[in-house]
């Protein structure tokens, strides 16, 4: 009995002792935020230089040099996208070296690039005999800095397309500007877009050759959104679009000579930047800031709450990079440009619950958006009395990556050059039609999956890029696109009946080749068979290409209500003094369905108006 008691007491003492040590280790860890396994001391690595090939936007070679105790050098050979991946390639190796660890978060909007660097270095660590898991457990120790106050003439919240257009415009008005951005770089969704913005110059040669006008742009935008948009805002959008392009050109941005038809854009008026994706906008805005003083970029800083004094919005309270509070005040106005809410599942599902437009399963589809696009600005504006309009107007695209929902891997250059087929090898929609119509049609297809089919007119060689800066040969190598010399082989690769695919293409080609069906709409209502250069002579130039695509949430057309001066309106329809908004955070510009290519026009046109008017505002 005594013996048992003693053994039990011994056991309890041992247990308490072990628990105490565990608790001490835990507390010590918390206090110093040190990694679980500390990698210091001799013999951590087999010294030398090791290389690894990782997949970012394209293949990159990561070369790491180790001493026996440390990572001493990281070199990258890459072709990542300027303005999106390149800044990460510049900053992340230094971060890893400083930390001597791999517990670093991927940069929102540049996850592919970030993960490629982290994976490449991890592989080199493994090759050098290091402990990869231990290094992944090392995270940066952040010491909270003191709270801070900052003041500028104009405060812009969000460094995406609209925010940067507003910031540069305000600076051109002679104002100092602080731009608050919650991620570590500018760009937002704008940077991830295909890059083209709809704009037509009335009376120009190009407008004549494409039979285009601002009136047609207005009509297509207004009707394309089922006439739900505020017409006075649509008028501004189309009337000021070309001026916006000229402004961008005056800042040095370059565009292709011939406009494109953006998917769901309905007309050939997409002015396509020379740089891939939306990167050209940010390269341009950065170049402006390099040349001109007065714009302060406040990165890794999340705007939390608008400051209202005597009914006027005078600034914003933010959480800074180290968790400190940063209070930013404006001498003039505040511009809200935080984008939409497509990456906020709860808000999207709430919006979907108020409309029966989309099938029930829409509440699980992924999004094209960066994770930062969570509707923060909408909540902030609502908290100071702003009216929200048309929140139920959510746009889905039929062009999402099956794994991630993103637009990456989309091989389409424009609907003029492709068809969509379902898993039976059959077409099911007008590829030149409205985005909502195309996506609704896709929801009805087997497994809600389709393949985009193209030929070598678009990709004459493997180095040719898609709209997202990806080389077609890399997409094929990565298994994200398919390439075959014949339609039969392509059909086999993607698992659709070959006889159906060949028959589908044959029928489609009848409309493109200027034969009996020339000038007519096909059974799906498609009339888009040739563009201004007449490059579309059907799908008959092998090798052929295919890529799988699924529905994805893309744009939220609802948001904060504004007037033609971009002043945010309250629930009574009165402007909230000091508060301006532009871009996807606003509602009422696009109606139920946004034309492809109109979002970037929206950012430039309304961003510029907001920048001008916030500059002119006085308390």
Separation between Cα atoms, residue 278 and residue 276, nearest integer Å: 6
Per-position x/- string for 547-586, each x denoting binding to ligand ADP as judged by CB under 6 A, each - no binding: ------------------------------------xxx-
Report the candidate in 315, 376, 336 with the shortest Cα–Cα distance to residue 150. 315
Given a contact cutoff of 8 angstroms between Cβ atoms, the answer to whether 197 and 284 are in contact is no
Q: Tokens at residue 448, please?
A: 């809600």
The reply on whether position 303 binds ligand ADP by CB under 6 A is yes
Closest approach of Cβ 242 to ligand ADP, in Å?
19
Give the C-alpha separation, 393 to 355, whole Å.
Answer: 8
Dist. CA 544–CA 584, nearest whole Å: 36
- The closest alpha carbon to 147, from 303, 315, 331, 319, belongs to 319
What is the chain's alpha carbon radius of gyration, rounded to the nearest angstrom?
27
Contact 508, 85 (CB under 8 A): no
CB 118 within 8 A of CB 192: no
By C-beta, is 159 or 487 nearer to ligand ADP?
Answer: 159
DSSP structural state of residue 447? G
Smallest distance, ligand ADP to C-beta of residue 267, A: 21
Other Cβ atoms within 10 Å of 157 Cβ, number: 29
Nearer of residues 63 and 327 to ligand ADP, judged by Cβ: 327
CA distance 497 to 490: 10
Question: Which residues 321-340 are close enough to bind ligand ADP by CB under 6 A?
Answer: 337-339
Window contacting ligand ADP (CB under 6 A); options: 135-143, 179-187, 250-258, 410-418: 179-187
Smallest gap from Cβ 109 to ligand ADP, in A, equals 7
| Axis crossing angle, helix 498-512 with helix 487-494, rounded to the nearest 10 | 130
Is residue 467 a contact point for ligand ADP (CB under 6 A)? Answer: no
**Helical residues (DSSP H) of 292-359, grouped into ranges:** 345-352
Per CB under 6 A, the list member of 171, 183, 387, 410 interacting with ligand ADP is 183
What's the token pair of residue 232? 């006075």
Catalytic residue among 427, 435, 471, 549: 435
543 contributes a contact to ligand ADP by CB under 6 A: no
Q: Which of 178, 180, 560, 589 binds ligand ADP (CB under 6 A)?
A: 180
- Rule CB under 6 A: is residue 189 a binding residue for ligand ADP? yes
- Could you tell me which stretch among 118-126, 180-188, 195-203, 237-245 binds ligand ADP (CB under 6 A)? 180-188
Kind plus residue range of the DSSP H or E element containing 249? helix 241-250
The residue with tokens 């090759």 is 127
- CB under 6 A: which stretch of 37-45, 92-100, 159-167, 482-490 binds ligand ADP? 159-167
Tell me, yes or no, if 471 is annotated catalytic.
no
- Judged by CB under 6 A, which of 35, 87, 130, 188 binds ligand ADP? 188
Q: Which of 80, 123, 153, 181 binds ligand ADP (CB under 6 A)?
A: 181
Q: Which stretch binds ligand ADP (CB under 6 A): 111-119, 200-208, 368-376, 535-543?
A: 368-376
- Which residue number places its CB atom closest to ligand ADP? 160
Which is it for strands 148-152 and 325-330: parallel, antiparallel or unpaired? parallel
| Sites of contact with ligand ADP (CB under 6 A) | 157-163, 180-183, 188-190, 302-303, 337-339, 372-373, 376, 583-585, 603
Q: Active-site positions?
A: 435
């Amino acid at each position: 009995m005594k013996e048992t008691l003693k053994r039990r007491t011994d056991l309890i003492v041992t247990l308490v002792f072990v628990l105490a040590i565990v608790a001490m280790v835990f507390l010590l860890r918390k206090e110093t935020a040190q990694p679980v396994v500390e990698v210091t001391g001799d013999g951590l690595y087999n010294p030398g230089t090791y290389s690894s090939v990782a997949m970012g936007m394209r293949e990159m070679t990561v070369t790491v040099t180790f001493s026996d105790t440390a990572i001493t050098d990281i070199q990258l050979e890459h072709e990542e996208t300027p303005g999106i991946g390149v800044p990460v390639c510049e900053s992340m190796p230094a971060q890893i070296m400083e930390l001597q660890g791999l517990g670093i978060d991927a940069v929102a909007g540049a996850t592919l690039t970030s993960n490629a660097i982290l994976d490449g270095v991890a592989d080199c660590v493994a090759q050098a005999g290091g402990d990869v898991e231990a290094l992944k457990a090392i995270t940066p120790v952040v010491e909270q800095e003191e709270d801070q106050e900052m003041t500028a003439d104009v405060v812009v919240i969000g460094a995406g397309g609209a925010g940067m257009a507003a910031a540069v415009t305000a600076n051109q008005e002679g104002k100092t500007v602080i731009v608050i951005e919650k991620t570590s770089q500018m760009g937002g969704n704008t940077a991830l877009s295909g890059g083209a913005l709809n704009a037509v110059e009335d009376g120009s040669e190009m407008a004549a050759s494409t039979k285009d006008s601002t009136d047609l742009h207005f009509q297509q935008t207004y009707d394309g959104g089922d006439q739900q948009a505020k017409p006075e805002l649509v008028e501004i959008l189309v009337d000021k679009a070309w001026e916006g392009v000229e402004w961008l050109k005056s800042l040095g941005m370059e565009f292709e000579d011939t406009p494109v038809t953006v998917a769901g854009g309905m007309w050939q008026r997409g002015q396509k930047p020379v740089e891939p994706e939306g990167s050209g906008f940010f390269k341009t805005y950065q170049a402006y800031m390099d040349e001109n003083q007065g714009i302060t970029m406040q990165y890794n800083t999340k705007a939390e709450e608008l400051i209202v004094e005597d009914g006027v919005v005078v600034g914003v309270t933010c959480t800074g990079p180290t968790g400190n509070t940063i209070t930013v005040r404006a001498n003039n106005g505040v511009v809200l440009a935080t984008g939409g809410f497509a990456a906020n599942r709860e808000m999207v599902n709430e919006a979907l619950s108020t409309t029966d437009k989309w099938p029930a399963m829409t509440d699980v589809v992924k999004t094209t958006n960066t994770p930062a696009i969570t509707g923060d600005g909408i909540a902030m504006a609502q908290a100071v009395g702003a009216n929200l309009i048309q929140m139920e107007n959510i746009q889905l695209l039929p062009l999402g990556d099956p794994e991630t929902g993103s637009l990456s891997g989309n091989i389409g250059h424009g609907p003029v050059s492709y068809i969509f087929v379902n898993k039976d090898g059959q077409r099911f929609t007008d590829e030149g039609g409205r985005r909502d119509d195309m996506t609704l049609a896709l929801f009805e297809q087997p497994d809600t999956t389709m393949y985009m089919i193209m030929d070598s007119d678009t990709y004459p060689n493997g180095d040719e890029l898609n709209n997202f800066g990806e080389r077609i040969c890399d997409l094929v190598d990565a298994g994200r696109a398919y390439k075959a010399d014949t339609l039969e082989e392509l059909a086999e690769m993607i698992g659709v009946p070959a006889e159906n695919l060949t028959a589908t293409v044959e029928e489609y080609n009848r409309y493109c080749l200027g034969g009996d069906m020339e000038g007519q709409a096909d059974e799906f209502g498609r009339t888009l068979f040739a563009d201004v250069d007449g490059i579309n002579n059907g799908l008959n130039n092998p090798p052929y290409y295919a890529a799988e695509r699924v529905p994805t949430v893309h744009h939220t057309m609802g948001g904060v209500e504004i007037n033609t001066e971009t002043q945010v309106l309250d629930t009574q329809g009165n402007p909230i003094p000091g508060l301006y908004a532009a871009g996807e955070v606003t509602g009422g510009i696009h109606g139920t369905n946004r034309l492809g290519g109109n979002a970037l026009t929206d950012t430039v046109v309304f961003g510029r108006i907001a920048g001008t008017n916030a500059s002119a505002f006085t308390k």
